[in-house]
Structure 1
Amino acid sequence: MNGATATPRLRSARDRKSKPPPPRPTNAHLPNGANLLNGAVPRPRDSPDMTQKRSSSTANDICCRLGNAHFLKWRARDVLGVLRYHPVPCAFAASVLFFMAVEYTLRMIPPMAPPFDLGFVATTTLHQLLAARPALNTILAGLNTVFVGMQTTYILWTWLIEGRPRSTIAALFMFTSRGILGYATQLPLPEGFLGSGADFPVGNVSFFLFYSGHVAASVIASLDMKRMQRWELAYTFDALNVLQVIRLLTTRGHYTIDLAVGVGAGILFDSLAGKYEDGKKTAGNYVKAQNMVI
């Protein structure tokens, strides 16, 4: 009995294998040109009922999300906790509201009028002092040039002597960006500019106003000093940078916006240089690992 029943089963299996597979449908047999060979499945057209159900489901999902909104769970103690534990963002929020009110009520500067600069207003007395004493202006300009030389020397020292190129890379990034932006929007020289042949760039030549390379380079050098825990030198550079800012405003050598962006540019390009170094180290480790595997 077992041998009799096994034979037909084997034959039926052979018969099934020997039968040719049914022909697959082509694009011509499928709606909308669907191709089953490429794994595409024809999608039936939605009926009006299905479309209505989907729209109602989407509306219910939106209502559910709005019903579970984060701010609906706030309590009075949560709001007070924001003021207590996050004072800096709260101060920023208040400043945004304040400057929105200022912006919407402030009159624009007429096209032919000189720009308004709050830093110039704050240094009016010092400006008059230097204008009346050209020799003092020249001495301060010479000291400023010495400080620029100190920045340059330190930045190159970290690369050529200590073998740490991050500050040099940051300075290259920064001055390239300054050249592009300074040329793209060339600001007019401020009224009352007190130039000096001893100032940097030496010779009282033309220069880009936006943004201040003096300030940005000083920030780059100071950040490196702090990373190396050279605190006294870093604080000295920060103090000299503040004095440099006051002198540039006093001589009308830069607008306030030039100096503020110079600080941000120094921080930004130092960070980008660090990311560049990290990326190169990661790529180098990957190449070494590949060579070891090979």
Structure 2
Amino acid sequence: ELSLLVMRGVFVAMQAAYILWAVLAEQRPRAAIATLMMFTCRGLLGCSTQLPLPAEFLGSGMDFPVGNVSFFLFYSGHVAGAVIASIDMRRVGRRRLAVLYDTLNLLQFVRLLACRGHYTIDLAVGVGAGLVFDMLAGWYLDSKNIDSGDNRCCSSCQKALVSQKLTS
């Protein structure tokens, strides 16, 4: 079980690192905006739909959070974050990396079902949430006339394209 937690942590760290790299190094904010929107919505849905625990509920040290605190977030943020990162990778032509993320996400999907970490609907809605929030982030950037950087893969590629245009 510990190895599964480590694998999940590594995959989540990979998602976060990729999204941070896209926004900080490549100046492509769309994936970061989509992720912020997704986690904000997830938190609001969780807070607005949680039910109080019965008075006779006996919590254990294995519960998260510990004690008699109701904790519920509707869809899988891990799955949605991986979908957002994968879409962004495809957008800039990193297809092999996107296939790797999709494969790892599918394995995560199976692990969460097998370990009863989420209901099936949480995982399916997580995929949909990733798609929807990526689209909403694109609409947001378009409405603000902000260059989302979707047409470049990195700043060094962009510099190479500019210098190539200047020489031709």
Task: Specify if TM > 0.5.
Answer: yes
- How does 1:156-175 map onto structure 2 within 5 Å? 156-175=20-39
Q: Summarize the Cα distance change of 1:140–1:187 in structure 2 as closer, same or farther, 3 Å threshold.
A: farther
- Shift of residue 250, structure 1, vs aligned partner: 1.3
Determine the C-alpha separation between the residues in 2 that align with 1:248 and 1:145.
Answer: 13
2:12 corresponds to which letter in structure 1?
Answer: V
How far is the alpha carbon of 1:183 from its aligned partner? 1.6
Deviation at residue 177 of structure 1 after TM alignment: 0.3
Counterpart of 1:24 in structure 2 is none
Distance in 2 (CA, whole Å) between partners of 1:240 and 1:183 is 29
Question: Which stretches of structure 1, 4 residues or more, deviate above 2 A after TM superposition?
Answer: 204-209
Choose between structure 1 and 2 for higher RCO, CA contacts under 8 A separated by at least 6 residues.
Answer: 2
Confirm or deny: 8 A CA contact 1:167 1:270 kept in the other structure: yes
Q: TM-score w.r.t. structure 1 length? A: 0.43
Structure 1 residue 263: Cα displacement: 0.4
Secondary structure at 2:145's aligned position in 1?
helix
Equivalent residue, structure 1, for 2:137: 273
Count of residues in Structure 1 that have an aligned counterpart in Structure 2: 134
Q: Is 1:140 matched up with 2:4?
A: yes
Structure 1 distance, partners of 2:47, 2:110, is 25
Offset of residue 168 of structure 1: 0.4
**Deviation (angstroms), 1:141:** 1.5
Q: CA deviation at 1:187?
A: 7.2
State the partner residue of 1:178: 42
1:55-134 matches, cutoff 5 A: none
Q: In the TM superposition, what whole-angstrom CA distance separates every residue of 1:244-272 from its partner, at most 9, and x where no partner exists?
A: 01111111111111000000000000000
Q: Percent same amino acid at aligned positions?
A: 61
Tell me the residue number matched to 1:233.
97
What's the TM-score once normalised by structure 2's chain length? 0.74
1:197-237 deviation digits (Å, cap 9, x = unpaired):
xxxxxxx7435341100000000000000001101100000
Q: 2:109 aligns with which of 242, 245, 250?
A: 245
Unaligned stretches of 5+ residues in structure 2: 53-60, 66-70, 147-168
CA contact (8 A) 1:187 1:210 kept: no
Pair 1:220–1:187, CA change in 2 (3 A): farther
Inter-partner Cα distance in structure 2 for 1:264 and 1:232: 22
Q: What CA deviation, in whole Å up to 9, does each residue of 1:147-198 have, x standing for no partner? A: 001001111110011000000000000000000111222379xxxxxx98xx
Letter in 1 for 2:136: L
How many angstroms apart in 2 are the aligned matches of 1:258 and 1:267?
14
Distance across 1 between alignment mates of 2:120 and 2:50: 15
Q: Which amino acid aligns with 1:176?
A: T
Greater CA radius of gyration, 1 or 2?
1
Partner of 1:214: 78
Q: Does the 8 A contact of 2:45 with 2:73 survive in 1? A: no
Q: Residue 33 of structure 2 contacts residue 137 of structure 2 at CA under 8 Å; is this kept in 1?
A: yes
The equivalent of 1:149 in structure 2 is 13
Q: How many Å separate the matches in 2 of 1:163 and 1:205?
A: 36
Q: Is the CA contact 1:212–1:262 (under 8 Å) kept in the aligned structure 2?
A: yes
